[in-house]
Structures are given as structure tokens and as C-alpha cells.
Amino acid sequence: MRMQKIRLAVFGVLIAMIAACSTPNGGTAPAGPGYYTVQKGDTLYSIGRKFNQSHRSIASWNKLADANGIEVGQVLRVVPPGSAGGNATETKTRAASTPSVTPSSSPKVEETGIDWIWPTDGVKTASFSAKKKGIEIAGQSGQPVLAAASGKVMYAGSGIRGYGNLLIIKHTGSLLSVYAHNKVILAKEGQMVSKGQQIAEMGKSDSSTVKLYFEIRRDGKPIDPAGIFPGR
């Protein structure tokens, strides 16, 4: 139990270090509705004018401490939280006229501004929970493991016991994905990868069974993939 806690602590430190690194400068997925991908020459002021929003509001929605700290490729929310995107005024009007719906027990739908894909074929054998920060997908040894979204490989190695051959991809300034227990790692640290690109082969390194352990994290904190992949 103590060793497991130490491994989790080491993994947490690695995640925190990666989360603090700069946003990938290329290869990020296009921003979804309500989001904007920063281009060369952009400032919060120019983005605010483009979307008829205050630069202070955009900074607040994206938890930016420094208005000059945005980077090319970074995905920013440009409509208020809770808006579906596009025209914020129109969205608010539609929402006001929509009857209230009783909340269900379904996982919270996560708005990330990224177009994700399921990382591999197989059966989900373990779900996200308070104790398990990701999901497990069982499959065949050697089958492709794909990048769930475009981004930059920030870690590729086997230096953290309990995770085997591990890959961590950073997609935006706040979002990253984790792929563990791989048989073979095909991507290298610092490499830009595209959504759907094969990055590894499924395996059972540091595991008793063949599986992919998959996480998505925002600002270093795990989020339930079921909120990004409804029905999975």
C-alpha cells in the first residue's frame, strides 16, 4: 500500500510538471464551438474584439493570471461558461426558453474545445471513480493505441513503476492524456502527434493483463472520460 502511494505521488509530480509546461506550438486540434485557437499575432484584446467580449472576461473564463501569457496553439473559451458556443446571446435566449430537465446520474459532460477519439478498440473493464483516476480498456497484445487528440508528447518511458511503458500527451495549456501499460511505445518525447495517429501497441507492462490504462486531465486533475465520450 505504501509503495502504491509513493508511485501515485511520483506520477502526480510528473503530471504537475507537465501541466506547468508551455502549450504545444503546433498540431493541436481545431477549437470547437465557443472556443478559439490562438494564432500568431493574437492578443487577448484582439481576440476580445473579434468575439465582442471583454479581454478581462476571456482571461477570467480561462483562468489566465497574465493577459500577455497566451501562446500560439492555445485553446481559449470565448463565450461564457455554460454557453454552447457560437453566438452567446442567441445561446442564452434559447436556454431561457428551454424547460428545465431533472438532472440524471449520467457523468458530467466535459467541454474541452477538443475533438477527441476513443484511443483503442476493446472492452472497458474499469471505470473512473474516486479511487481510479482513469479507465481500463482490455484488448489484444500489440493492437494499436491511438492519440485521442492532437498534441505534443511530453513523456515517453517506463520510469514510473506501476504504469509500465507510459505516454503522456499535452493537448492544450490545461489538457493532457495518459496511456499506460503499453507493449511498445512508438512516439518520442517532444514529437507532435495527430489525432488518431498510432502512438503505441497495447500490452501488459507492469500489469497482469493486457490492457490500456487511459486518463484525461485538466489542470493536472483527472476528469471522467465518460463525460467526453458519451455512451462509452
Give the model confidence (pLDDT) of 30-63 as tens digits.
456 677 888 877 788 888 888 888 888 888 888 8
Kindly state the cell numbers that stand for 51. 468575439
Integer Cα distance of 107 and 229 in angstroms: 10
The residue-averaged pLDDT of 182-207 equals 95
The mean predicted confidence, pLDDT, of the chain is 78
In the chain, where are the structural domains located? Answer: 2-23+114-227, 35-97
Select from 44, 31, 34, 30 the least CA-distant residue to 90: 34
Q: For domain 35-97, which CATH number applies: 3.90.78.10, 3.20.20.10, 3.10.350.10, 3.30.420.140?
A: 3.10.350.10
Residues 6 or more apart in contact with residue 6 via CB below 8 angstroms: none
Residue 124 has pLDDT above 50, yes or no: yes
Q: Has domain 2-23+114-227 been given CATH number 2.70.70.10?
A: yes
Residue 84, CA distances (Å) to 147, 149, 203 in order: 26, 21, 39
Q: How confident is the model at residue 91 (pLDDT cuts 50, 70, 90)?
A: very low
**Percent of the chain scoring above 90 in pLDDT:** 37
| Max Cα-Cα span within the chain | 55
pTM as predicted = 0.59
Q: Rounded mean pLDDT of 82-94?
A: 44
